[in-house]
Copies of this chain bind each other. A is one copy, B any other.
């Protein structure tokens, strides 16, 4: 019998009716001969409401207590889901993260899973029960409740599937799957049938928010296929799987837009060993996540260093960078009006001409490229934010992403 682990996000368990609908899916899956584990999130706005309460009692709530608080959201859902399953005639049992030994480190509010004790889940599956597990949470070795941070239930999904050596992960969500671009911006964006872990990782880090990188990295490491699909219909969604040869025939799989970027440029940076390291160490210590970095060496032993960051981090970055400039005697320029458009595809490894096609499409659309970064499977262009949506549509069209692959296509 196959083991299927299915995850239902907050909107998919937002009320009693949706909880019962999710329960019916799990029962159907069990009736098809599978052993079924459900991983569930907190209902709808529950987590936000809990954090709101926290803010009412404390200006700066301790993270340990935030976790103790937030973890109740998923605990409510597991109990209700087990009740719904039993009411619909199945045998079911619910477990918190702690109850099935999801052991994490002690970095509260963004803990990382260290181990999962699969014994209890397997016992209950063997007894014919559907096992309902709280996503997003675990406990420290000492028994304190932890949560896994943004996208944590997807991490739970994949980690539990990996621990059980599951045959399939199903990620039920409020979208139909992974699209060639954000359909709200690109009307002819197309649902992708299969995509590789690496492509998904690039798309996620580039702004496609369906599945966070930590979950995909986990899935890649343990080779767990993930099926991203809608909880509102029975359509097939997108399979995220290990790379296969046919995937390479598709040059570009998807395009993404990362909005709300800022760029920091330091001029007249002393061009000697250790200076860049010192700069980025100071920035990292300020909890600012740096995206791309470009360094160009000019004359007189002075360099220019540019890097992009989330617009939300700009104020924090200014404080840190101005201190660095005083120390090093360099000057800083801050730009707050940028975006990044990218094309992603494992086919780039074996096909050429991708960059040229992308650049000429942007040029034809009148979009100025301010910077270019590349990896083995993606090309990114930094542009003005006002042109972001046009740029995404231009790139999407340039690679015919709206058309079903496999048919004859322009290169």
Do B76 and A58 touch (CB < 8 A)? no
Do B82 and A94 touch (CB < 8 A)? no
A87 at the interface (CB under 8 A from B): yes
Do B57 and A80 touch (CB < 8 A)? yes
- The 8 Å CB contact of A65, one of B61, B62, B79, is B79
* Nearest-Cβ distance from residue A12 to partner chain B, whole angstroms: 14
Do A80 and B87 touch (CB < 8 A)? no
Identical subunits present? 2
Within 15-69 of A, Cβ neighbours of B (below 8 Å) are at 15-16, 19-20, 50, 53-54, 56-62, 64-66, 68-69
Within 123-164 of A, Cβ neighbours of B (below 8 Å) are at 143-145
A53 to B79 CA separation, bound complex (whole angstroms): 10
> Assuming A65-B79, A66-B79, A76-B69, is B87 touching A53 (CB within 8 A)?
no
A11 at the interface (CB under 8 A from B): no
> Assuming A75-B72, A76-B72, is B54 touching A83 (CB within 8 A)?
yes
A99 at the interface (CB under 8 A from B): yes
A84 at the interface (CB under 8 A from B): yes
> Assuming A53-B16, A93-B64, is B86 touching A58 (CB within 8 A)?
yes
Do A58 and B87 touch (CB < 8 A)? yes
A78 at the interface (CB under 8 A from B): yes
Which B residues touch A69, using CB under 8 A? Answer: 75-76, 79-80, 83
Selected A-B contacts with CB under 8 Å, 19 pairs = A15-B56, A19-B57, A57-B80, A57-B87, A58-B87, A61-B83, A65-B80, A65-B86, A65-B94, A66-B79, A68-B75, A68-B78, A68-B79, A68-B94, A68-B96, A69-B79, A69-B83, A72-B72, A99-B143
Residues of A within 8 A of B (CB): 15-16, 19-20, 50, 53-54, 56-62, 64-66, 68-69, 71-72, 75-76, 78-84, 86-87, 93-94, 96, 98-99, 143-145
